[in-house]
Amino acid sequence: MSSESDFSQLLSDKIAAYTPDLIRLRRDFHRFPEPGWCEVRTTSMIADYLTCLGYEVLTGSDVCDPDSRMGLPSEEILETHYQRALKQGAIPAYAQNARNGFTGVIGILRCGKGPVTALRFDIDALPITEDASSSHLPFTEGFLSQNLGFMHACGHDGHTAIGLIIARILAEMKDWFSGTVKLIFQPAEEGVRGARSVAQKGHLNDVDWLVGSHIFPYSQPGEQIGVSIGSTLATTKLNAVFSGLSSHAALPEKGHNAMLSMASAILNLHAIPRHSDGPSQVNVGTAHAGSGRNVICDQAKLELEVRGANTEINHYMEEYARVILQSSAVMHSCTCRIETVGSAPSVINDPEMISLLQDAVEDLHLTLRTPDPAASFSEDFSYLSEAVQAHGGKSLFFYTLTHTDAPGHNPDFDFSEEALPVAVQMFCTLVYRLCHGKNL
């Protein structure tokens, strides 16, 4: 086999040749955004692409443990998205496997004896209506979301395209690698709902090395790769439904006002004492209650989240929130049903993997930023990394930095497509070095 410099040159040539396809794929996924557990068209396109490349392809219930899926939409919503996906070009054979919330794909490439390396790419979109003004590139270039009320506002369209071009390059350069590579195209990252079910299915049990990345909006010019030395925020997403007793507003003593329980909960949730050992956050994102001005409200619903600098601080916030929710219900003779619809522990990078990334960035003449030790976001990649680290494997989550004019989860979000080939280069270089034991 030739030297790593030969590998790097061939890799660069392939990335240059495939960058137009990389951008085309990203824009296609951007046009047809699908929220978590509803990524039917996306799943079918990924599965077909990997199959044509010769990968072993897992779809449907082979990807996710059914009982470990969190925040699953209703059967009606799932079916609505399934039918729309078929109309928008989903490949029927793969779409059928993804029906009823069984989205996601795993592609396996076997390159002989050696370690097992897994790469993770999330594929879901957000419930946001995309900006359609002339200043928004997806509008001017003709790849604006075609699904009203949904958009790729966090870069997962780019992640999916990156994963597919990596799959193509790895398959074509198979002789340069050893061991097994698993490409995990994960559903339902938004709301941290999907990774736990992938981990519970056992796909990480034999993985030696795990690598993930996220396109990350950062305004400093020239910076391309980032990595956290500390941990990300752990988080829990909760829905709380208050149930009371309705009555005429003229007879308030005859009713049990669920809206008052909800209002008490909102005020007290935001008054939770913050933890002294690190950042801790709470946010009530939605509140719905009431049926009329002269009716005592008997049903109210909150959607909220808590976060903590680590899993222990997040647990403190969650337990405090649960006490407040139940106590606010009792205060007004109501009941409260609490549902966990998403959660993720902290992502902690292994030092050896950080060093591997740093060396690769230097050798590739890229630029590296090391963000603050406690990253300000949450990621259910943590379920996958914990599963790998539990048996002695190592994990790395890095950022692909890019300029944006708007933050993530915003109707005007878009990113510079120059970041896409950088991510492909970094992933492929890391896979090469991991399977050859470089710098470890």
Cβ atoms 21, 184 nearer than 8 A: no
Cβ atoms 336, 255 nearer than 8 A: no
- When pLDDT is averaged across residues 94-103 and rounded to a whole number, the result is 98
Q: Could you give the percent of the chain with pLDDT greater than 70? A: 97
**pTM of the shown model:** 0.92
pLDDT at 269: 98
* Confidence category of residue 282, pLDDT binned at 50, 70, 90: very high
pLDDT at 217: 81
- When pLDDT is averaged across residues 288-302 and rounded to a whole number, the result is 97
Task: Please check the confidence at residue 372 and state whether its pLDDT lies above 60.
Answer: no
- What are the angstrom distances between the C-alpha of 280 and each of 86, 89, 239, 248, 348? 43, 44, 19, 41, 17
Cβ atoms 396, 212 nearer than 8 A: yes
Task: Please check the confidence at residue 375 and state whether its pLDDT lies above 70.
Answer: no
* Confidence category of residue 223, pLDDT binned at 50, 70, 90: confident
- In the sheet where 299-308 sits, what is the strand order? 280-289, 299-308, 234-243, 335-344
**What domains does the chain contain, in order, with CATH numbers?**
4-230+346-435 (3.40.630.10), 234-344 (3.30.70.360)
Cα 371 to Cα 366: distance, rounded to the nearest angstrom: 16
pLDDT at 357: 96
The conformation of residue 373, written as its DSSP 8-state character, comes to S
Q: Tokens 């958009």 appear where?
A: 151
- When pLDDT is averaged across residues 291-311 and rounded to a whole number, the result is 96
How would DSSP label each residue in 404-428? -SS-TTSTT----TTHHHHHHHHHH
pLDDT at 439: 58
Smallest Cα–Cα separation from 198: which of 307, 60, 377, 56?
A: 60
Task: Please check the confidence at residue 25 and state whether its pLDDT lies above 60.
Answer: yes
> Apex CA 124: angle with CA 119 and CA 126, to 5°?
140
* Confidence category of residue 245, pLDDT binned at 50, 70, 90: very high
Cα 2 to Cα 274: distance, rounded to the nearest angstrom: 56
- When pLDDT is averaged across residues 78-91 and rounded to a whole number, the result is 98
Smallest Cα–Cα separation from 112: which of 200, 206, 177, 156?
A: 177
313-370 pLDDT tens trace: 999 999 999 999 999 999 999 999 999 999 999 999 999 999 999 999 999 999 888 7
385-414 pLDDT tens trace: 999 999 999 999 999 999 888 888 999 999
pLDDT at 230: 78
- When pLDDT is averaged across residues 421-432 and rounded to a whole number, the result is 98
Q: Work out the number of other CB atoms within 10 angstroms of the CB of residue 274.
A: 14
- When pLDDT is averaged across residues 25-42 and rounded to a whole number, the result is 98
Helix (H) or strand (E) holding 290: none
Q: Whole-number mean pLDDT of the chain?
A: 95
Cα 385 to Cα 412: distance, rounded to the nearest angstrom: 32
* Confidence category of residue 440, pLDDT binned at 50, 70, 90: low
Q: Could you give the percent of the chain with pLDDT greater than 90? A: 90
154-206 pLDDT tens trace: 999 999 999 999 999 999 999 999 999 999 999 999 999 999 999 999 999 99
pLDDT at 405: 80
Q: Which of 3-7, 30-34, 202-206, 296-300 has the lowest mean pLDDT?
A: 3-7
Q: Which two tokens stand for residue 299?
A: 């049903």
Question: In a 3-state reduction of DSSP, which class is residue 242?
Answer: strand
* Confidence category of residue 3, pLDDT binned at 50, 70, 90: confident
Task: Please check the confidence at residue 97 and state whether its pLDDT lies above 70.
Answer: yes
